[in-house]
Amino acid sequence: MSEMANWSRWLQASICKHFDDNVDLPMFVEGDPRATKDEVDFFEVRIDGPDIRLLNPNYWRLDVSINILIQSTINNADTHKIHKQIGLVMDEFDHSINVYRYGVASEGNDDSLLGCLYMIDDPLDVKHFGQLEPRLMLMQASIEGKYTMNIRGT
């Protein structure tokens, strides 16, 4: 199996670890089983891509979109709570993200550095959904950023 077959998995694992390590809220990954019944303030990570382009023989460009959904309980004593949580997550979009060869110890999964994702100059897209249902005291928002990485293939 070529190293390229692992790129998507390594990207997801590294991106999720980056946000989980740096944002002080419970994190979930889209599509993974989760129990949010007791977690009312959390964020969920979704990754689109990688979009892969061959730039030169054995030299690739990988583009990904990182979308994070934030859910926050409405707190009348702190009406800016969701905006503070958005700020915590936005701050981590400002950093490059190291991509490691994470995985079960086997060929190619040695936790070494594969490369680094850098934010593309597109604007960080923040959307506020507000209170989605009047009977639930919850608000939601999303943040999306686009990243790129160039790597040598094997």
Rounded to an integer, what distance in angstroms lies between the CA atom of residue 28 and that of residue 43?
A: 6
Given a cut of 60, is residue 125 above it in pLDDT? yes
- What is the model's pTM? 0.91
Q: Give the ranges where 23-147 is alpha helix by DSSP (H).
A: 81-93
Structure confidence at residue 38 as a pLDDT band (50, 70, 90)? low
- Pairwise CA distance, residues 148 & 153, whole Å: 15
For the record, the structure tokens of 91 come out as 């701050």
Query: pLDDT at position 37, please?
Result: 66
User: Domains in the chain, ordered, with CATH?
Assistant: 3-33+43-152 (3.30.2000.30)
Q: What is the C-alpha to C-alpha distance for residues 80 and 86, in angstroms, rounded to an integer?
A: 10
Does 39 have pLDDT greater than 90?
A: no
Q: What is the pLDDT of residues 54-75, one digit of tens each?
A: 999 989 999 999 999 999 999 8
- In contact, 47 and 68? CB cutoff 8 Å: no
Rounded to whole angstroms, how far apart are CA atoms 31 and 43? 13
Alpha carbons 117 and 98: distance in angstroms, whole number: 6
Residues of the chain with pLDDT > 90: what percent? 68
